[in-house]
Structure 1
Amino acid sequence: MKNVNQISIGRFHHFHLARQMEKRGLLEFIWTGYPLFKLRDEVGIPHSRIKSYPWVHSINMANKRFGLIRSKRINRKIEWLACELIDKYVASEITSSTVLIALSSMGLHAGIKTQQLGGYYICDRGSSHIRFQNELLIEEYARWGFSFEGINPQVIKKEELEYEVADKITVPSEFAKKSFMRMGVSEAKISKIIYGANFDRFFKIADPPKNCFRVFWVGELSIRKGFMYLYEAFQMLKHPRKELLVVGAVTPEIKKLLASKSTANITFLHKVANKDLALLYSTSHVFVLPSIEEGMAMVQGEALACGCPVIATTNTGSEDLFKNGVEGYIIPIRSPNSIKECLQQLVDNHLLQSQMSEAATQRVKQINGWDRYGEEFSKLIASIN
């Protein structure tokens, strides 16, 4: 079996994958845009196997944190260059046959070079097909009265070339897989490999309060994540002591939509350290994820591991993680009424919430952390060698 090289501009799920590849003696290098000093807490991967090309991505990271550049056009250019240049850099560094696993939009040049050297190129896409995603988001922004400029056309063009060139395309959910097939990609080219979760950090450590009903949200408050559908459902929910606990940055669109609305009983925590989320999951009665589009939101596995039932749309990878009516509820997108009905059932039936919580903790034992993810990826690599 050939050695594995990975490209991922950020961490995402790729450092979990790199640990799995290292555990199996397959990892040669993981190439990243993160500066090395930001990766000191990564364990299970020898530092000698982490290669950093941080020159452009560091600017992008600093800009997102401090808002240094206000021009959307310039920011799009920086994001494009960060992915394009690390791709070209890795292409110049690869000199022997390998299996390249590159996050989409950053593997075209290195993937072609890999194939020329007798190796294999796997395009790893964490979301739905990029053109499907773009069309869905343009439609969703319009529903709320906003104009969405769309994904950078350069990125769309490059990703579709990657889909064509790659030996295999990996996606994390059935929803993502179907989006590729809908866009004309052969099912034979697509491999679904479901993400794991960090169960060393996420497990049930407390119980929800008995004097209120707590709904929990983690993630960016955005049009894509469907926050306003949860807001509408929460307003309809009947409970004298309801509480919506929100963790995540608020986008300008959501700020504008909330400006004229009541936020009573909603607590905005903005940013919470990842290590502190287990307590919040554990002490919430339900976690809600009404996203319009995601490949597979890993927060769902985190919530389940903490015994927190999940309400999520079909477009989040939920169907690959849990069963509707057992560990939570799987609902259509754009349906605040469905969210409200599920919440009301949990409010009105305390035993149901307890049963779902117990089922959630049992379900995560089958997910098996990240080991199953690593095993499935290893099988895919073996199958194409």
Structure 2
Amino acid sequence: MKTKINILSPGRFHVLDLARELDKNGFDVKFYSFVPTKRAMRFGLPKHCSASIFVLMLPFLALCRIFNRSQQIKRLRINVQDYITAWIMRKSDVVIAMSGDFVYAPRRAKKKGALVIYERGSKHILEQKRVMESIPSNKGVKPIPDVNVKRELESYVIADYIAIASKHVYESFMIHNYPKEKLFVNPYGVELSDFYPDMTRQRNYDVIMIGGWSYRKGCDLIIEAINRTGYSFLHVGGLVDMEFPKMPNFTHHGIVDQKELINYYHQAKVFVLPSREEGLAMVQAQAVACNLPVVGSKDSGAEDLKRFVEQPDNIIIVEEFTAEAVVHALHEAMEQYDKLGLTIYAGTAKEQLTWSSYGKRYTDFLKKILKHENTLNRPDGRVE
């Protein structure tokens, strides 16, 4: 009999990719979210895996859209989804849930015998809180409400395991003495059919950054570094808490569909993300797949990508959050770009960057912990 796995998520995120890959690896998977089934299928999720609660959540999603700045409405939506999911989801062997969004449903499943794995996309909540409160625009406010912190910490207690994507997130949990045997580090994947090199394209920009334009992502450092170097710069994404420079060498483009991103990667030589707080930014893996040298901070997850490429010198780590450090890293990345020529620096190792490899690593982890659980549950200590 197949192992039953319920995956709980508000939206798509990386766990839709996880659901798809675990289904391929022989598990009986149900993906509970407010993503409509037809949309989930666009990203490769088989119809039989989708357990969409879109219709049930529609009134609350509408409220969130109307009152998009209201933390109370957002909290209502999260709580309602948690309770609805708890009552409609089937009994399973494993529950994988997005941290911060689900507490009641995983706890209820655990009482029925399920192993609970939380997906944590960022640092330990107390470290994330510290970083977010250091942002100048957050002075005098609480960027992470106390109720969110409490809920997150509660999920750490419920969890049998927590899946994280990078070394620096692991270290943030170690700071707070979380049991290391409960942490599973598995870097996210990338769809290589959507992101690949194109050596024929003209590079209109020296540097590109994709993602929300914010202090958190180090955009203040990008501005200063680009001003100092004179490089041409392209940003693709939304504007969050910083103005975008109105200068000739700065170009902004709004949010685009993921399938279109490759057209922007191919216009630049180097990718930059000096983020102060990430789990593992998937845009960096996309940049690697497109053969752009990557400049990433020590807290962006870039360091974890080095083991998935044959020439790791093309991934440059910014150790300090200063413009000088970013300038130095950009110069180094430009030198690497000039050396590359027609060389694909990821080489054959890039196959480890795929969602398929991500899913296989997760499958091996699940088999290991389920075997351990079966051993513990047998009186004679043997595995059936």
CA deviation vs aligned residue, 1:167-210 (integer Å, no higher than 9, x gap): 10110001111111112211111111111111011001245647
Aligned CA distance change for structure 1 residues 271 and 96 (closer, same or farther; 3 Å):
closer
CA deviation vs aligned residue, 1:131-171 (integer Å, no higher than 9, x gap): 210111101x13x6844422122221111111111110110
- Residue identity matched to 2:303: E
Q: What's 1:138 paired with?
A: 133
* Deviation for aligned residue 1:61: 6.0
Q: What's 2:369 paired with?
A: 384
- Do residues 244 (structure 1) and 237 (structure 2) align? no
Aligned CA distance change for structure 1 residues 116 and 346 (closer, same or farther; 3 Å):
closer
CA deviation vs aligned residue, 1:100-142 (integer Å, no higher than 9, x gap): 0001023322212222112210011011111210111101x13
Q: What's 1:23 paired with?
A: 24
- Do residues 91 (structure 1) and 86 (structure 2) align? yes
For 1:59 and 1:381, how far apart are their aligned partners in 2? 36
8 Å Cα contact 2:117/2:159 also seen in 1: yes
- Do residues 189 (structure 1) and 182 (structure 2) align? yes
For 2:128 and 2:57, how far apart are their aligned partners in 1? 23
Once the two structures are superposed, the pairs formed by residues 357-376 of structure 1 within 5 Å of their partners are: 358=343, 360-362=345-347, 365-376=350-361
CA deviation vs aligned residue, 1:82-116 (integer Å, no higher than 9, x gap): 22222222221245342000010233222122221
TM-score by length of 2: 0.87
Give the 3-state SS of the residue equivalent to 1:5 in structure 2: strand
How many residue pairs align between the two structures? 366
CA deviation vs aligned residue, 1:244-287 (integer Å, no higher than 9, x gap): 01111112x302xx5xx652211111123322221321231100
Give the 3-state SS of the residue equivalent to 1:285 in structure 2: strand
TM-score by length of 1: 0.87
8 Å Cα contact 1:34/1:58 also seen in 2: no
Aligned CA distance change for structure 1 residues 46 and 345 (closer, same or farther; 3 Å):
closer
For 1:17 and 1:325, how far apart are their aligned partners in 2? 26
For 1:184 and 1:136, how far apart are their aligned partners in 2? 19
Give the 3-state SS of the residue equivalent to 2:178 in structure 1: coil
Aligned CA distance change for structure 1 residues 180 and 356 (closer, same or farther; 3 Å):
farther
- Residue identity matched to 2:4: N
- Residue identity matched to 1:27: D
Percent identity over paired residues: 26
Q: What's 1:54 paired with?
A: 54
Aligned CA distance change for structure 1 residues 95 and 365 (closer, same or farther; 3 Å):
closer
Q: CA RMSD in A?
A: 2.5
Aligned CA distance change for structure 1 residues 234 and 57 (closer, same or farther; 3 Å):
farther
Aligned CA distance change for structure 1 residues 78 and 53 (closer, same or farther; 3 Å):
farther
Once the two structures are superposed, the pairs formed by residues 188-227 of structure 1 within 5 Å of their partners are: 188-207=181-200, 209=202, 214-227=206-219
- Do residues 307 (structure 1) and 291 (structure 2) align? yes
Q: What's 1:179 paired with?
A: 172
Moved more, 353-362 or 100-109: 353-362
Q: What's 2:242 paired with?
A: 254
8 Å Cα contact 1:292/1:334 also seen in 2: yes
* Deviation for aligned residue 1:63: 7.2
8 Å Cα contact 1:137/1:148 also seen in 2: no
For 1:93 and 1:362, how far apart are their aligned partners in 2? 46
8 Å Cα contact 2:209/2:272 also seen in 1: yes
Aligned CA distance change for structure 1 residues 302 and 58 (closer, same or farther; 3 Å):
farther
For 2:172 and 2:333, how far apart are their aligned partners in 1? 32
Aligned CA distance change for structure 1 residues 248 and 58 (closer, same or farther; 3 Å):
farther
Aligned CA distance change for structure 1 residues 383 and 346 (closer, same or farther; 3 Å):
closer
